[in-house]
Each structure stands twice: as structure tokens, then as C-alpha cells.
Amino acid sequence: MDGVAEDVIRPLREAGEYLRINDTPVAFPTETVYGLGADATRSASVKGIYSAKGRPSDNPLIVHVSDLQMLRGLLEDDKSSQDPIPDIYKPLIDKFWPGPLTILLPCGNKSTLAPEVTAGLPTFGARMPSSTLALALIKLAGVPLAAPSANASTKPSPTAAHHVKHDLDGRIELILDGGPCQVGVESTVVDGMCDPPVVLRPGGVSLEEIRSCPGWETVVQAYKDQSEVGKAAPRAPGMKYKHYSPRARVILYEHSFNRGRTSLTAEDLAETLNKMSDGPQKVGLIRTRDWEAGAGLPLATKAATNGTNGANGHHSSTDTLYEIVATDLHNTSGTILGHVLDLGLGSDTRKIAQGLFSALRDLDGLGADVIFVEGIDDKIDIAAAVMNRLRKAASEIRL
Ligand code: TXA
Ligand code: MG
């Protein structure tokens, strides 16, 4: 840790020490989302993650390492001089580590990992994050850190320290604040121990990037959201598999919705709101590439900038990903149908990924009852990860 200022390193050293001794997890930033870390070799501390998050214990955790030596220490040593890291992963490790990629590895018989990490599976997921703070924390803790995303189970993943505080305040003691996450969606999870190799979760490394590596040319997608969309949508509200969900009801418009039209319109909004009872609704709009601001309605007052509407928002202006602007939607007889909160993430896929979870959380914080989201073409760059999370968050998908 040469050359790192003492006031930066001290809290990390203390957090590393805390992780070795305590059974309560520590929240820390990574380049993807904030993680909730614990010593992956001790059962009591790993159990602390599941209880802080309210996570079902049959969902395995990713093990975070600071270097390859730490990873090799978790793999079976067959006494030959061979590297225990399987060859299939070498090109991926060279290209994407440290970074947003998780690889599945065999646990072996003498694994030092706590069994709770893998939820009884014969494999474990491993990742070397690129965030300097994350790497320093793991190194200072001196042990691999098991860490899921640091949100309450079912909520959108946290991409800022105040998101973690919102979900887990009172359940954990330490949150390391490294500012907003750069990638904004979780790591891509791959399994190279089967033939052909598979992507289990789309994430911060795109399918194309993985496919460009030797041995990975035939990689196939082994997650399901795509086929669900092909079926007769919209899915019935309430039928969703709850995940990544804000409190508000999310209505996702697939990329195909915009075919032959330019934007969601005020009439589209009114049609949905007319079917909802209980007077005027608060409506969030998350726009990406094509929708007009406010569905074409005149925009009135600025409601918030990301991160500033919560009690703990402390972002500098350079962190600003979007502004939230308010307007009202009236019906033909002039009564208010809804209060619209409009937010544009822009057209750049990486920027959309970066702002997505924060946007869902901010609109929730402003009291949105329903959020209309403009989907993007999932073939472009890391859009597969964005659309995967949105399809899971959605109560209804419109094509
Ligand atoms: O970017 C990330 O991956 C973040 C940061 C904190 O590193 N972590 C994260 O963890 O997203 P979590 O627990 O929210 O998601 C872990 C994913 C789950 O989909 C889990 O099922 C899968 O990885 N996973 C972990 N170990 C596995 C295994 N042995 N076999 C199959 N899937 C596994
Ligand atoms: Mg998660």
C-alpha cells in the first residue's frame, strides 16, 4: 500500500481487521455495485451476510480475491507443478481481471471456503474486482471475501453508499464509501467447466467480449429472460419473480415497442393511469434512446438530481447522471391524472447501465407508484445486463 495516503488507508485497515474478527459483514464499493463482504473461510461470518440481507441461503455467493495467489490457495493442489487455475479461464483472466467477470471453479475436497458460501454446490464463483478500494480491503483483510450485492434481498442493487445505508442501516456497522459505481450492473457470471461454456448471468463484460477469447467462441447464454419475452407478453402483474424491484410497479417497454413510432406519448400514459384507481398517481419515466422528455408534456419544475433527494446524498456535481423533472398529466376534462417525474439516462449503453439502479431507487424515494421504462436493444454491448435486470424488476412487459 505504498504511496497511499494514511487517511485513506486507515479506515481500510480497520475494516480489514474488523472482517477478520467480527461476524457482521462490511459494505464496500466495487466497480459494479456495492458488495456486502465477509471472511469467506468462516461460517459464522458468511452466515452474517445472509441474515443482514434477508437472503435465501440456497443462493450462492461470489468470492472476491485480490490476486491470483489468493485464488490458487482456494483450489485443489494436485501436487503436480501445474497451475490449479483451469486453462479455459486463462484468456478471460488475462483480458478481464481485475474487472466485472465472475468465473465458476470446482471447490475440491479440501476447500477452505465455508460451506455456506456455495450453498452446497460443488463449484464456487470467483472474481477479482478492479475497484482500488475493494482490492485494498481484500488485501488488508488477508482473506478472500464472500460478497453479494449490498442491497436488501429483492431490491435494486446499490450503486452508491447511501443506497446501502437505506437498505441495511441498523443491520451492519461499517459502510465504506467509494462514491458511485462506474459500471452500475453486476459482474458477468460464466462457467467454463462445461462444453460449450456458458454465460449464467449477463453483466459488465459483454457476450461479444467473452466470445472473442480463445476457447470461448462457442459460448452460449444459459439464462432465461429472453425466452420469457418471446412468449405471449404482457405478463400478468403479480406473477413476477421479484428481484431488482423498487417498491413502485415497473412497466417495461421492450425495444420493439418503438418500432414504427417515435415515443411513448401522453395518451399512452393516460391510458394506463385511467385503468388505475385511487386518484392521481405518481408516475416515473426512465427514458433512454428515443422517448421524448415527459412523454411530450411540458416540463415544469426540477424535482431532484440523482443522489440528492435522499437524506444522505452527498455527490459532487461531476457525479450527476441525470436530473429528475416534474410535470402534471391532465385528462381531457382538465383533472389531474398523474404527477410525472421524468428522468433521461441518455443513449449510451454504458451510461444507461451506470444510472439504472440509481434511477429506480430515486424514483421510489420520490414516491412513484408506477415507473415506465424505455428498454433498449439487448444485442448492443452490455445492454443484455440492463435488460435482464429490467425484465426481472418489471411487473409488466410491453412489446
Ligand atoms: O458484480 C458482482 O458480481 C457483485 C459485486 C458485489 O461483486 N456481486 C453480486 O453478487 O452480484 P450476488 O450475490 O448478488 O450475485 C451472485 C450471482 C448469483 O446470480 C448467484 O446465483 C451466482 O452469482 N453464483 C454464485 N456462485 C455460483 C455457483 N457456484 N454456481 C452458480 N451460480 C453462482
Ligand atoms: Mg444481488
Residue range 87-103, pLDDT digits in tens: 999 999 999 999 999 99
Q: How remote is the CA of residue 62 from the centroid of ligand 1, in Å? A: 5
Cell 381531457 belongs to residue: 332
Sheet holding 145-146, edge to edge: 174-175, 26-28, 35-39, 145-146, 62-64, 123-127, 101-106, 188-191, 198-201, 220-221
Q: Which helix (H) or strand (E) holds 372?
A: strand 370-374
Within 6 Å (CB) of ligand 1, which residues are found? 30, 32-33, 35, 59-62, 100, 102, 104, 118, 121, 123-125, 127, 129, 147-149, 186-187, 189, 200-201
Residue range 29-45, pLDDT digits in tens: 999 999 999 999 999 99
Q: Is the dihedral of CA 215, 220, 221, 224 positive or negative?
A: negative
Q: How remote is the CA of residue 260 from the centroid of ligand 2, in Å? A: 36
Q: Contact 215/203 with Cβ under 8 angstroms?
A: no
Q: Using the 8-state DSSP alphabet, how is residue 66 labeled?
A: S
Q: For residue 371, which phi and psi values (nearest 5 degrees)?
A: -125, 120
pLDDT in tens, the chain (399 residues): 666 688 889 999 999 999 999 999 999 999 999 999 999 999 999 999 999 998 888 889 999 999 999 999 999 776 667 899 999 999 999 999 999 999 999 998 888 999 999 998 999 999 999 999 999 999 999 999 999 999 998 899 999 999 999 999 999 999 999 999 999 999 999 999 999 999 999 999 999 999 999 999 999 999 987 545 545 444 444 344 567 788 899 999 999 887 878 899 999 999 998 888 777 799 999 999 999 999 999 887 776 777 544 333 444 444 689 999 999 999 888 889 999 999 999 999 999 999 999 999 999 999 999 999 999 999 999 999 999 999 999 999 998
Q: Which ligand is nearest to the CA of 222?
A: 1
Residue 150 alpha carbon, nearest atom of ligand 1: 6
Q: Contact 299/323 with Cβ under 8 angstroms?
A: no
> CB-based contacts of 350: which residues, under 8 Å, 6+ apart?
183, 381, 382
Q: How remote is the CA of residue 269 from the centroid of ligand 1, in Å? A: 36
Lookup: cell for 155: 431490491
- Beta partners for residue 144, in sequence order: none
Residue 228's alpha-carbon distances to 53, 225, 374, 387, in angstroms, are 28, 5, 18, 12
* Nearest CA-CA partner of 145 in 44, 19, 296, 10: 19
Q: Could you give the angle at the alpha carbon of 71 between the alpha carbons of 89 and 117, nearest 5°?
A: 100
Residue 102 alpha carbon, nearest atom of ligand 1: 3
Residue 100 alpha carbon, nearest atom of ligand 1: 1
Which protein residues have a CB closer than 5 Å to ligand 2 (ion)? 149
Residue 189 alpha carbon, nearest atom of ligand 1: 23
